[in-house]
Amino acid sequence: MTRVAAALPFGFDFDPATTALIVIDMQRDFIEPGGFGETLGNDVSLLQAIVPTTARLIALCRAHGLPVIHTRECHKPDLSDLPPAKRDRGKPELRIGDPGPMGRILVAGEDGASIIKEVYPIAGEVVIDKPGKGAFYATNLAEHLKAIDAKTLIFAGVTTEVCVQSTMREANDRGYDSLLIEDATESYFPAFKAATLEMIRAQGAIVGWTATCAQLEAALNE
């Protein structure tokens, strides 16, 4: 077993042989200027700040043989998997499915739905397209994790309080121990990220643990 002694709320033990990294929604539409995130009025530079650490985390897991799984929030071109309640909410400048600077917003196959080049999947890595916030909903993620005998999940990506937390809660309900890498996840709202980290590790790791990339790296390199 490997132990991240400095993890919060207490040390995190895991077997690298049954651990996978899940990188949530590091997509152009969320992270790059001109994408969907910016049209909602968000400062995408906050998300861009975690790109180097997320790339470092992915490289670390690849080096130690941990499977890396990527997710993309996107919808079918005919939008048949997009509920009206999701499309019509709020008053954004652009809505899901509308033409945008990088193609149709959050539609599979469009440039904006692609993962940014800095953390792009390599050959053999699984990419899960998800129509919802959580990566287990309406996807084959559960079946894939079972096939690789994963018991522990490490998380990174965006945004902390929405798709990352949703997937961690889904994982918790399915019996996985989960570790969120604090400096490889981010929100458009720093206070939301801070609150989510507290919620995840509250009450004795009710949802999971948190640690930094450096702390995980030290544990794997011992």
193 is catalytic: no
177 is catalytic: no
Catalytic residue among 25, 29, 129, 183: 25
Query: Is 60 in contact with 217 (CB distance < 8 Å)?
Result: yes
86 is catalytic: no
Closest CA to 200 of 175, 181, 219, 216: 181
The b/e string for 160-183 (b: 16+ C-beta within 10 A; e otherwise) is bbbbbbbbbbbbbeeebbbbbbbb
Closest CA to 102 of 44, 150, 151, 49: 44
Closest CA to 172 of 200, 148, 144: 200
Whole-angstrom distance, CA of residue 37 vs CA of residue 41:
7
Catalytic residue among 29, 129, 130, 133: 130
Catalytic residue among 29, 129, 133, 163: 163
Whole-angstrom distance, CA of residue 27 vs CA of residue 34:
12
What number of H helices and E strands is found in the chain? Answer: 9, 10
Q: Which residues are catalytic?
A: 25, 130, 163
